[in-house]
Amino acid sequence: MGLYSVYHIIYIAIYVVLIALSILACKFLFKTDKSRGIYMRVLGGLLFASLIVNRISLTVWDNNAIGIREMIPNTYCGMSSLLLGIVLMTGKRDIAVYHFLWWLELVGGIACVFYPTFINQGPSFFFLPTITGLNHHALGSLICITMVYTKWIKPSFKYWYAFPIGIAAYTLFGLFLIDVLKIFHTMIIDEPAVPKTPLKWWFILIFGSAAVAVITFGIDKIKYALEKRAIKKPL
């Protein structure tokens, strides 16, 4: 069943097609701000439901013996899927919290679809914790790409600070899970996101924040240059 089995390759192909269909839907079906707003809220509801189904499946097939506590997302991607779904359903476009959740959901979602480290957790590709985990990661990254197209988020240096604040908040929440609820291996505090790598919370905080700042600064400069060129262009 493992990585890049027939099932996994087909899943990736469907994932790419669905991203294209989402963009086409926004281009040809959802052309107004109102219709796009409804579409984004529907996607947010689907993401929220997808995450909840995944947590329920993890609780039913609990290998960590923590029972109902398994319902609490204890990973960056899990918590980001939950929060992004809620914010999309209830919030406005381009608010500060998106500029934290969007980066984690986009990068984490794409990485997980192409390299799901948990894919061998069951006897089948369609083992519920496996397929539902893939689904919420795939849907989350699809939503992030759609958010850019619909301008539901405009990556900008103005909001770069949201990323380190968000990582700090996740880390504090992770410490609460470890110390109070005894849920270990959480929020990449006591083990890295990928085994035998430095990808722990402090690495993401330092280098992730720097990367977000540099990338968004570059995006702002490119936008400014393009706008300046458009103004100078003769009619």
62, 142: one domain: yes
pLDDT at 235: 53
pLDDT at 91: 85
Which residue among 113, 136, 154 closes a domain? 154
103, 216: one domain: no
Which residue among 120, 154, 188 closes a domain? 154
Higher confidence at residue 235 or residue 215?
Answer: 215
Determine the average pLDDT of the residues in 45-50. 98
35, 142: one domain: yes
pLDDT tier for residue 95 given thresholds of 50, 70 and 90: very high
* Residue 234 confidence (pLDDT) above 70: no
Domain coverage including residue 135: 1-154
37, 104: one domain: yes
* Per-residue pLDDT tens over the stretch 60-82: 987 777 889 999 999 999 999 99
Find out whether 51 and 73 touch, Cβ atoms under 8 Å. Answer: yes
* Residue 103 confidence (pLDDT) above 70: yes
Determine the average pLDDT of the residues in 101-106. 97
Report how many domains make up the chain.
2
What region does 149 belong to: left with phi over 0, alpha with psi -120 to 50, or beta? alpha
131, 41: one domain: yes
pLDDT at 3: 86
* Residue 1 confidence (pLDDT) above 70: no
* Residue 107 confidence (pLDDT) above 90: yes
| Residue 18: CA count within 13 A, CB half-sphere | 15
228, 213: one domain: yes
102, 175: one domain: no
* Residue 127 confidence (pLDDT) above 80: yes
pLDDT tier for residue 120 given thresholds of 50, 70 and 90: confident
Q: Residue 70: enclosing H or E segment and its boundaries?
A: none
pLDDT at 73: 95
pLDDT at 39: 97
- The span from the CA of 131 to the CA of 120, in Å, is 11
* Per-residue pLDDT tens over the stretch 145-199: 999 999 999 999 999 999 999 999 999 999 999 999 999 889 999 888 888 888 8
Which residue among 135, 154, 173 closes a domain? 154
162, 129: one domain: no
- The span from the CA of 148 to the CA of 116, in Å, is 25
Is the pTM above the cut of 0.85? yes
161, 148: one domain: no
pLDDT tier for residue 230 given thresholds of 50, 70 and 90: confident
Find out whether 170 and 187 touch, Cβ atoms under 8 Å. Answer: yes
100, 172: one domain: no
* Residue 54 confidence (pLDDT) above 90: yes
pLDDT at 233: 65
* Per-residue pLDDT tens over the stretch 4-20: 999 999 999 999 999 99
196, 223: one domain: yes
150, 163: one domain: no
